[in-house]
Chain A
Amino acid sequence: MDVLSQFWATYGSVVQFALINMLLAISIYFTLYTGLLSLANAGFMAIGAYVSAVLTIHAGTPFIVNLLGGACVAMFIGLLLGLPVLRLRDVYLAIATLGFGEIVRIIAINFDNFTGATLLGGAEGLDRVPKLTTPEGLIVTLLILIVLLIQLPRSRAGRAMAAIRRDENVAATMGINVFRYKVLAFVLGAFVAGLAGGFSAHLTRFVGPNAFGFDTAVNILAYAVLGGTQFWAGPLVGAALLTILPEALRFLNEYRGIVNGIILMVAIVYLPHGLVNPQWFQRFRRTEAA
């Protein structure tokens, strides 16, 4: 028991950051699963963080209401953004969604007060956010999302999304409304990213405009791509590893970033489908049956 509490005192925050990063990895998993390369999720995370923090500070509503409020606003903005940009494909979609992230950041920097009262805090950010995020809250949220991820390939919507990823023209000639499912994946991702933003704001007790920029957008993508985008455990493993790795490599001091980068490159080159590849399980099952 003593060992456990000592571990938690040292690594508790790393574990909670890992859980938040798992949420972010799940948020981009929905779009990748549908074959969409969207980098908007850092922007949706910012929206969830700001909205929930402002609600906590000014409205005094319960944390869960603020959290869901932030996620719903992120989802709504995701819908407004998705309707025009989801007509784009591949790298064009990536660039357009990256632009969205910049817009969110610049609005946050410049929008420092609202009718005289401090609202978003401008470039200094909001630093009076109470710490309301708990490990229990994060774990329950993750468990709910894991059930969703497990059921996704067994649902009509999930099969349509997987079909769109493989060949969207063929999916369309099977009667699947391709655009509708792209919007669904995008909006689901925005909601989950918004949740992650709310948890993050109430864990670090701070929301600043520069925490949700290009770096974050690329990190979110790296979590999912390293872990794998075809099986539910992929984004979880990727996010956990990429959060823990820099901590585990701390003894390397200034070489830490370099080694971290090399490990990432080797993993992507030799495991292009990600660390969690469903075909391994199938092979394992087959050898068991034989």
Chain B
Amino acid sequence: MLVLDRVSRSFGGLAAVSDVSFEVKAGQIMGLIGPNGAGKTTLLNLISGLDQPTRGSIHFNGQPIHDRPPHIINQLGIARTYQNIRLFAEMSVLDNVIVGLHTQGHAGLLSAVLLLPSYRSEERRLRALAQQLIARLDVQHFEQTPADALSYGDQRRVELARALATHPKLLLLDEPTAGMNATETARLGELILGLRAEGLSILVIEHDMAFIAQVCDEVIVLNFGQVIARGTPDQIKADQVVVEAYLGAAESVDA
């Protein structure tokens, strides 16, 4: 479904991502782990079109997407969330999700000004769809609350609802459990497994190994922009190279 072939991205002399190749198959949940600065978020930016690779290619359902603008990539069926939550602050939770439904509406500005029946029925439909998603993510009590007034965990769920609103086939999640407690994390894991059961493919960056073990079929480990290991969550936990990459990082933090 998503195929990365020897993708590299350098900023000046620094190779943030180098020669990364992997494939996310339809219906698969792929984990992406690695120490801070390993290039995980850069990789997500390359896939979602916010940044372009300096070398290599990215294909989605057979189509090259590495040179397409982000809105086209989203329309092809890739949606994402952000590590540093990027909701539309001051907008209500409901409006944030309705923005995600943008491509599922057609009513123009003129029909909104003239209050045409087509506009009114579309508004009702989008509102109902947004409310369903909000309820599914368990944030229905905050429908009219400004998004930036919510707790981190709730904001992450609203961001996920907004991404789902774009009707993706592949979902890119950047540390979705950060700021959530253990119960919330486990519930998010169940939700993600539920989405997969509906046919969604997911690529998820995470640090929480329990969460990775709960949801991922396969895990890719990135360090200094390169893939250093891949396998099932159990294989990864036992992998000597991975343990060293993390311990090395931990040592430098202590120093």
Q: Once the chains bind, are A173 and B89 in contact (CB under 8 Å)? A: no
B82 partner, pick from A155, A160, A170, A175, beta carbons under 8 A: A170
How far is B106's CA from A151's CA once the two chains are assembled, in angstroms? 16
Q: Once the chains bind, are B166 and A147 in contact (CB under 8 Å)? A: no
How far is B81's CA from A81's CA once the two chains are assembled, in angstroms? 35
Q: Does B191 contact A (CB under 8 A)?
A: no
Q: How big is the B interface, by class?
A: 35 or more
How far is B88's CA from A166's CA once the two chains are assembled, in angstroms? 6
Task: Please indicate the chain A residues that have their CB under 8 angstroms from the CB of B105 in the complex.
Answer: 156
**Number of A residues, CB within 8 Å of B:** 26
B102 partner, pick from A152, A154, A159, A166, beta carbons under 8 A: A159
Residues 93-108 of chain B, each 1 if its beta carbon lies under 8 Å from chain A, else 0: 0010011101101111
CB-contacts of B149-168 with A (<8 A): 162, 165-166
Q: Once the chains bind, are A171 and B99 in contact (CB under 8 Å)? A: yes
- Do A151 and B113 contact each other (CB < 8 Å), given the known contacts A156-B107, A159-B95? yes
Q: Once the chains bind, are A147 and B108 in contact (CB under 8 Å)? A: no
**Which of the candidate stretches B11-19, B29-37, B67-75 sits at the interface with the other chain?**
B67-75
How far is B110's CA from A158's CA once the two chains are assembled, in angstroms? 11
Task: Please indicate the chain B residues that have their CB under 8 angstroms from the CB of A147 in the complex.
Answer: 113
B91 partner, pick from A154, A166, A177, beta carbons under 8 A: A166
Which one of A159, A173, A177 has the greatest number of beta carbons of chain B within 10 Å? A173
- Do A173 and B107 contact each other (CB < 8 Å), given the known contacts A154-B123, A166-B89? no
Q: Once the chains bind, are A175 and B88 in contact (CB under 8 Å)? A: no
The 10 closest A-B pairs by CB, nearest first: A155-B112, A172-B70, A175-B74, A175-B103, A166-B88, A157-B109, A151-B112, A163-B99, A156-B105, A170-B86
B residues neighboring A (CB under 8 Å): 48-50, 69-71, 73-75, 79-80, 82, 86, 88-91, 95, 98-100, 102-103, 105-109, 112-113, 115, 119, 123, 162, 165-166
